[in-house]
Amino acid sequence: MLVDEAIIHVRSGKGGNGAVHLRREKSIMKGGPDGGDGGRGGHVILVGDSHLDTLVEFQHRPHLFAKNGENGSKKSCHGADAPDLLVRVPLGSVVHDAETGDFVADIIDDGQQVVVAHGGRGGFGNEHFKSATHQTPLESTPGGDSIERTLRLELKLIADIGLVGLPNAGKSTLLGASTRANAKVGDYPFTTRKPQLGIGELPGDRRIVIADIPGLIEGASEGAGLGHDFLRHIERTKAIVHLVDLAPLDGSKPTDNYRTIREELHAFSPTLAEKPEIVVFSKVDLVDPDERARKVRRLSGEIGLGSDEKAVVISAATGEGIRELLERCYALVKGEAAPVDWRR
């Protein structure tokens, strides 16, 4: 199960204090100042890690504190800088300041580093203040203060294709049939409570990442159900596969169901609604073979598909149309002029 939000409390290290000391040795009666500087406190740094896919560990470890820098000492010994605290987060993590709501960072690359709390600067020892006219200074400065803040991490999936559709449109079944994902499915709404990822593999070592976005409902753009939680995951996808159930068990009309989802996408984000879309009529195995072609033509016209557009007709249960759909998705994502002939 994906955990897609977490609150963490971070604190950088305090800088070490500068030392005050005058050199005193048997052979040197009036040595000069030799108090060393303090070391820098540790930064708190978020690091993108492609091997992580959840924020669950922060539920058990929400407090992340870096170490303080060492104090300076005599004989011009400077305090050691504290090690930075590296906090690994999954790719797709969006970071905001929990108190102000200000955007902090968007972590999308493996190894990307973002300093979210700078360590305090080390203080100056009295050696730093010596001069020709001030040969025995006794002043020093304390180390810089640590920075403490509360951050909100939000995980948005990074995928090529996002599957959308009303609950029970067949998205989880399609994901399982077209990828190696093992999503839970069942004959009831909202089977999928959290987004699921799968890898669709095609000949020629071609791959696309597909995300099963949990079913939307009317009013999702206003937060109905888990609308905002669901919709935000589609924002990163390059294209949308919109599943429309050809034989809805609740007696609803497929065209009305299609328009419901499109309206929610537009209401949530016009940019999101403008993403390339492939319309897929699912569960064709439940339609009378003699009625199939006529029904697909009628629904395509009602939905408003142009003459150069064509819906993909699939049955995740039998595998019909899955290869064609993957080829269409790959061609769309990679910007190919036309999909590879999937019948080869």
The pLDDT assigned to 100 comes to 93
Q: What is the pLDDT of residues 188-230, one digit of tens each?
A: 333 344 566 777 888 888 888 887 766 554 443 344 444 445 5
Give 70 or 132, the one with higher predicted confidence: 70
Q: What is the pLDDT of residues 324-333, one digit of tens each?
A: 988 999 988 8
Q: Which pLDDT band, with edges at 50, 70 and 90, does 25 fall under?
A: confident
Give 239 or 338, the one with higher predicted confidence: 239
Please state whether the predicted TM-score (pTM) of the whole model is above 0.85: no
Q: What is the pLDDT of residues 280-326, one digit of tens each?
A: 998 888 888 888 889 988 998 888 886 667 889 988 888 898 889 88
Q: Which domains does the chain have, with CATH numbers?
A: 5-155 (2.70.210.12), 161-334 (3.40.50.300)
**Sheet of 85-90, strand order:** 85-90, 44-49, 113-117
Burial environment of residue 65 by CB neighbours within 10 A (0 to 12, 13 to 18, 19 or more): middle
3 state SS of 204: coil
Query: What percent of the chain has a predicted confidence (pLDDT) above 90?
Result: 33
Mean pLDDT, the chain, rounded, equals 81
The residue among 110, 199, 109, 106 whose CA lies nearest residue 156 is 106
The pLDDT assigned to 270 comes to 76
Q: What is the pLDDT of residues 139-173, one digit of tens each?
A: 999 999 999 999 999 887 667 888 888 776 555 67
The residue among 243, 240, 250 whose CA lies nearest residue 160 is 240
Q: Distance between CA atoms of 263 and 3, rounded to whole angstroms?
A: 27
3 state SS of 171: helix
Q: Distance between CA atoms of 164 and 231, rounded to whole angstroms?
A: 9
